[in-house]
């Protein structure tokens, strides 16, 4: 499994404001959600087994702090 990158709210290659995938594939929280509602950002992952591969999304809900 490889974490490719994070996208901002709604996906569509918007820049992520709250999540970041570092060089080691770890997901980091860049800042707390200081709004009054939950924010959703997306992590794009790729799974490779032999010659088969699939790419998928994981939507991460970031509640207000």
Q: Quick one: pLDDT band at residue 11, thresholds 50, 70, 90?
A: low
Compute the distance between CA of residue 62 and CA of residue 20 in angstroms, rounded to an integer. 13
Mean pLDDT of 2-23: 80
Q: What's the rounded mean pLDDT across residues 20-49?
A: 90
Name the average pLDDT for the chain. Answer: 87
- Quote the pTM value: 0.75
Tell whether the model's pLDDT for residue 10 goes beyond 70: no
DSSP designation for 17:
S
What's the sign of the alpha-carbon dihedral 61, 55, 12, 22? positive
Q: How far apart are CA 55 and CA 64, in angstroms?
A: 29
Residue range 49-60: mean pLDDT, rounded: 90
């Amino acid at each position: 499994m490889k974490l490719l990158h994070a996208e901002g709210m709604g996906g569509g290659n918007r820049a992520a404001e709250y999540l970041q995938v570092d060089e080691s594939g770890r997901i980091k929280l860049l800042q707390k959600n200081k709004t009054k509602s939950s924010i959703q950002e997306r992590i794009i992952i790729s799974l490779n087994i032999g010659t088969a591969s699939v790419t998928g999304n994981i939507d991460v809900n970031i509640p207000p702090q």
